[in-house]
Chains A and B, each alone.
Chain A
Amino acid sequence: MTALLLRDLKLSFRAGGGALIGILFFLTVVAVIPFGVGPDLNLLSRIGPAIVWIGALLAALLGLDRLFQADRDDGSLDLLLMQEHPLVLTILVKCLAHWLANVLPLVIASPLLGLFMNMSEVAIGAVMLTLLVGSPALAFIGAVGAAVAVTLPRGGLLVSILVLPLTIPVLIFGVSASYAAVEDPAPFLPPFLILVAITMFFAVIGPLGAALALRNAGD
């Protein structure tokens, strides 16, 4: 299983792996917002956490369609499906590799984009923390979409659309926890803990659903 994790990481960082595409997209989306909204610093810092979260969400969905399709195209997926070790575990490891290579860089880049949005230190820290905790859920939910669309030749946008409604709770609780950290009366912990719960829930459900979809994709 470690071998699979290392292979997937290596593939993401080699030429054509696409790990950089997501982060470039994230930078572009958030960087153009201040130009569109105008130089109202108070407004920017107020919408900042939401914009950074939305940018990260969309960027995280970007490379998802290749999660299983790359393996299917060269026949590796057949061998992954045949093995004795549980398929759910294989998928969990693939999700983890996808998160490490494609989503973790977004979390790391988020403080820089927080500065673009004139966010305070506390807000930047809160967004980074909620992204760190919430973004694995995006990878796990995305795995189901990627598995359903694995046989479609151009499933890229379809995966994003299938997956987007399911990611809304992650977005809602991620953003509300970030706001709670800066706006006084609202408590930070309840939405944050719900976010943690969502991630753990999808860590179980996501690979299960993806395994079911891949088993039935049979072609």
Chain B
Amino acid sequence: MRLLAENLSAHRGEDLIFSNISFELKEGQALILTGRNGSGKSTLLRVMAGLLRPASGTISFWYDAARKAHNLGEVAHYLGHRNAMKTELTVRENLAFWKDFLRDAAGGTGYSVVDAARAVELEQVLHLPFGYLSAGQQRRMSFAKLLVGYRPVWIVDEPTAALDVSAEALLARLMREHQVRGGVILAATHQPLELLDVKRLEMKGFEFAAGDED
């Protein structure tokens, strides 16, 4: 499994947000984006997910030497600032819908709805409408969405927003488990997430600095 981004740059309207960003991730690696507000972390993640068209550059994903994905978005989960869950439906209905709609990408199987809720330690609220949950519980449940359908790549934007310390540790553990199974993670975060085999990329607006770190 190999994820390669070459010379990416992106505009928002007329403004250049970042330019010439390149990186490569292999099985089990994680890329952590840091940088001040407005430096382009979220924009880069949306470009990676295929939701924004890059002004230049290419993104490619190989399952193995021979097989290449059509685009990264279809083998990736994206967890943005918004939870992508319907407040009118119960948690179980939400997760069951996403499990059915997302299906599994090649190379793995997702958790059942109950197992995913158990993994984020919230199986007792499955029957409640999503809107009744607290902000932290909502965030954890939308993270459970990443577990119900298998995707090798997780693109997460501030996954630990609104979470307490123990929930933060819980999500970090789930992300590490994903890495152990061979998954790749791209995360933008201000919290020191403890992941395995981390590469860091500091977004500085126009310039950038990349380095390896374990």
**Footprint of B on A, CB under 8 Å?**
1-4, 6-7, 10-11, 14-17, 73-76, 78-79, 81-84, 218-219
Contacts and interface: CB of A to CB of B under 8 A. Distances in A.
B82 A74 contact: yes
A78 B78 contact: yes
Interface stretch (B87-95, B107-115, B116-124): B87-95
B152 interface: no
Contacts of B49: 78, 82
B81 A75 contact: yes
A218 B73 CA distance: 14
A17 B53 CA distance: 33
Given A3-B97, A15-B88, A78-B49, 19 more contacts: A7-B97, A11-B89, A14-B88, A16-B88, A74-B82, A74-B83, A74-B86, A74-B87, A75-B82, A75-B83, A75-B84, A76-B86, A78-B51, A79-B78, A81-B50, A82-B50, A82-B74, A83-B102, A84-B74
B205 interface: no
A84 B70 contact: yes
22 contacts: A1-B101, A3-B97, A7-B86, A7-B89, A10-B89, A11-B89, A73-B82, A75-B80, A75-B81, A75-B82, A76-B84, A76-B85, A76-B86, A78-B80, A79-B78, A82-B51, A82-B74, A82-B76, A83-B101, A84-B74, A84-B105, A218-B46
Pairs of residues from A and B, 5 with the lowest C-beta to C-beta distance, nearest first: A75-B82, A3-B100, A82-B73, A75-B84, A84-B74
B85 A218 contact: no
B72 to A, nearest CB: 9
Interface of B: 46, 49-53, 70, 73-74, 76, 78, 80-89, 93, 96-98, 100-102, 105
Contacts, number: 69
A217 B179 CA distance: 33
Contacts of B93: 7, 10
B133 to A, nearest CB: 14
B52 A17 contact: no
Given A11-B88, A15-B88, A81 B83 contact: no
B74 A17 contact: no
Contacts of A78: 49, 51, 78, 80, 84
Nearest to B74: A84
